[in-house]
A = this chain, B = another copy of it.
Amino acid sequence: MARTQGSHSDITGPRLRDAARSLFARFGYAAVSMRQIAADVGVQAGALYNYTPDKQSLLFDLMKAHMDELLIAYDDAMQSGAPLDQLEQFVSFHIRYHAARPEAVFIAYMELRNLNDENFAEIEALRRSYEARLEDILKAGVADGAFDVSDTRVAAMALIAMLTGVNTWFREGGRLSMDDVEALYWDMVRKSVLC
């Protein structure tokens, strides 16, 4: 039953998640210790266990929150329209949403193998759900003759890989603006699915 100056549950909790996200992204889940995270938060390691049952849950919660928020943001952002319009919306949303949170995206892609079986299955289902949204757009475009795509599943995987790749090189303040990047990628995506 102890406590130090100005520390509260509603402060330490988010701080813990922020520190874990930042450190996991930079050094990797396995290479980061609970003591490092605690030092970043400004508490001793034992205090973290008031906010997470264990290290594994910390990783899972970060990834789960990221995927949940991704799906909610996507469904919120999308407006109805022709498949080509929807595809353009997807490209814009995906690039911008992912570029805005590189740490969470990096973790979601790199730390899958550090999830236990149960947690992995849950995250993987969310990822497939997101991929399915793109594939549905492609299917609609094929159905109404707007797209020339012979395998919508492969095309969806290819496009998502291409778009997510932006995060590996794009840096704010570099040669290209976010608008430039979006335009360049949309140009390639558009042409790749048209006849």
Contacts and interface: CB of A to CB of B under 8 A. Distances in A.
Interface of A: 26-28, 30-31, 110, 113-114, 150-151, 154-155, 157-162, 164-166, 168-169, 176, 180-181, 184-185, 187-189, 191-194
A158 B31 contact: no
A179 to B, nearest CB: 13
Contact of A162 (B28, B113, B162, B184): B162
Contact of A161 (B151, B168, B191, B194): B168
A12 to B, nearest CB: 26
Given A28-B28, A189-B192, 9 more contacts: A27-B30, A110-B110, A154-B176, A155-B184, A157-B165, A157-B168, A158-B166, A161-B161, A162-B165
Contact of A165 (B26, B158, B192): B158
Contacts of A184: 150-151, 154-155, 158
A173 to B, nearest CB: 16
B176 A27 contact: no
A45 to B, nearest CB: 19
